[in-house]
Amino acid sequence: MSKDNTQRAVFATKIGAVAATVGSAVGLGNIWRFPYETGVHGGGAFIACYIVFVLVLGVPLLCAEFMLGRGTRSNILGAFRHSSPSGRYWVGTGYMVIIASVMILWFYSVVAGWTLGYCYDSVTGVIAGMDTADIGEHFAEMTSGWRNVVLTLVFLTANAAVLLGGVTKGIERASNLLMPLLFVLLLVLCVNSLSLDGLKAGLTFLFRPDFSKITSEVLLGAMGQAFFSLSIGMGCMTVYASYFNKDSRLGRTAMSTALLDTMVAILAGVIIFPAVFTYGFSPEQGPALVFQVLPVVFGRMPGGMIWSSIFFLLLIVASLTSTVSLSEISISYFSEDLKMSRRKATLVSTAIVMAGATICALSFGPLGGIEIFGLSLFDALDFVTSNICLPLAGLAISLYVGWVVPKKFTKDQMTDGGAYPFAWYGLLMFVLRWVCPVAITLIFLNSIGLI
């Protein structure tokens, strides 16, 4: 069963492991996706559901993925195979998440490309000097042409460079250094937000939930966002946990990851929404939201050019630590199961992602006509992966860890082999066995209209 694979990379320090995990979780999901999903789904009610999902489904599923990863020290397929005698029947889930992780990278790296473009335009003073009226057009220009493709490919090249450099030093060091910086900058922007006229309207929108607005769509959206933001349901955290040390205290790591991740998302909301109401944007405009609102905020701040340059730079870094973790899912599969060298695995994975991301980038321009279920290719990829693949895989993982994996395995993992007590073990297993599967199934069936 659990095999000891000693040549595997291990994060050098405990803090490094947490930083890398938080680095995976904190990304565009918090700063770009969370605000726009909140805007689309009516504000406070969405956030309330989101927080409940993070606590009730997110933390337990993080623990489940951590257990599988650290207990088997292998990629997502091996994590199923080596954690229980009947694990091989669950390997199908592993294949699904490998494919879905690539699909997430297709649209994620396009947005990361925009952040590159915005960083460039910040440094050259374009963003800070822009008229509010021109912002929409600037965004359309940024996203509709070949520039979009070039930016996406540049970003993916940087992603490949980090991955080629190896897990431990590249990812761990960058996360350690830059995540705290991002946090500080978000706080500065928050303080700036406090001076805006729309502060009250923004905070009311965010924090005064109107529970009558909770529909099945809001629930599904909030659940998808919780999964997306915490990087769960994708084997991503499983792979990272396979690089954890023996004494990483999985329960604590899961809690701190969830807490920090949620804080960053809420801070992003506090930055965006007062500005949305101050400058008369519609909160419901979707993926363009952050990229339209932030330039106005920066444009009116003293020293806006500098702030916006630093901000977009950090956003690039936050995206990079997330795409690296997403890429690691397929790379660890290619190198361990298909026996490719790490270098070859990275190149193959990068090529596949680049091809799909190029098509996705063009869906804002020349390929704009392609629609899937009435959604653009970009929106469809986002919807299908976040709201369907992640919850389904989360369902499978909770059932598998709750019911199939032997108790000795799970208990060993949660207590670091008996070294620490873990008082929540019973509750955790109950939630994984019952609460997660029932909640995910109900929300899912409800949203597709079956109940």
Using CB under 6 A as the criterion, which residues of the chain lie in contact with ligand TRP when the complex forms?
Answer: 24-25, 27-30, 104, 228-229, 231, 234, 236, 322, 325-326, 390
Place of tokens 């925009």: 114
φ/ψ (deg, to 5) at 144: -100, -15
Q: Which is nearer to ligand TRP, 229 or 447 (CB)?
A: 229
φ/ψ (deg, to 5) at 376: -70, 165
Return the H-helix or E-strand segment holding 372. strand 371-372
Q: How far is the CB of 37 from ligand TRP (least distance, A)?
A: 11
- From the number of C-beta atoms within 10 Å of its C-beta (0-12, 13-18, 19+), residue 21 rates as buried
> What secondary structure, in 3-state letters, does 87-117 show?
HHHHHHHHHHHHHHHHHHHHHHHHHHHHHHH
Q: How far is the CB of 196 from ligand TRP (least distance, A)?
A: 26
Q: How far is the CB of 117 from ligand TRP (least distance, A)?
A: 18
Q: Which is nearer to ligand TRP, 239 or 429 (CB)?
A: 239
Place of tokens 């992602």: 353
Instruction: Outline where 337-447 has alpha helix (H).
Output: 342-362, 377-383, 390-399, 407-414, 425-430, 436-447
Q: Which is nearer to ligand TRP, 239 or 432 (CB)?
A: 239
Q: Which is nearer to ligand TRP, 329 or 443 (CB)?
A: 329
Q: How far is the CB of 233 from ligand TRP (least distance, A)?
A: 6
Q: Which is nearer to ligand TRP, 294 or 326 (CB)?
A: 326
Q: How far is the CB of 20 from ligand TRP (least distance, A)?
A: 11
The Cα 244–Cα 402 span in angstroms is 22
Q: Which is nearer to ligand TRP, 135 or 179 (CB)?
A: 179
The Cα 324–Cα 383 span in angstroms is 21
Q: How far is the CB of 378 from ligand TRP (least distance, A)?
A: 16
Q: Cβ contacts of residue 196 below 8 Å, gap of 6+?
A: 202, 274, 275, 278
Q: Which is nearer to ligand TRP, 199 or 263 (CB)?
A: 263
- From the number of C-beta atoms within 10 Å of its C-beta (0-12, 13-18, 19+), residue 35 rates as buried
* Residue 206 half-sphere exposure toward CB, CA atoms < 13 A: 22
Q: How far is the CB of 63 from ligand TRP (least distance, A)?
A: 16
Q: Which of 132, 8, 27 is nearest to 74 (CA)?
A: 8
Q: Which is nearer to ligand TRP, 329 or 429 (CB)?
A: 329
Q: How far is the CB of 132 from ligand TRP (least distance, A)?
A: 28
Q: How far is the CB of 326 from ligand TRP (least distance, A)?
A: 4
Q: Which is nearer to ligand TRP, 243 or 277 (CB)?
A: 243
Q: Which of 170, 155, 168 is nearest to 17 (CA)?
A: 168
Q: Are 397 and 362 in contact (CB under 8 A)?
A: no
Q: To the nearest 10°, the Cα dihedral for 231, 237, 238, 241?
A: 180
Q: Which is nearer to ligand TRP, 203 or 314 (CB)?
A: 314
Q: How far is the CB of 109 from ligand TRP (least distance, A)?
A: 11
Amino acid letter for position 307: W
Q: Which of 281, 275, 271, 270 is nearest to 197 (CA)?
A: 275
Q: Which residue is nearest to ligand TRP (CB)?
A: 29
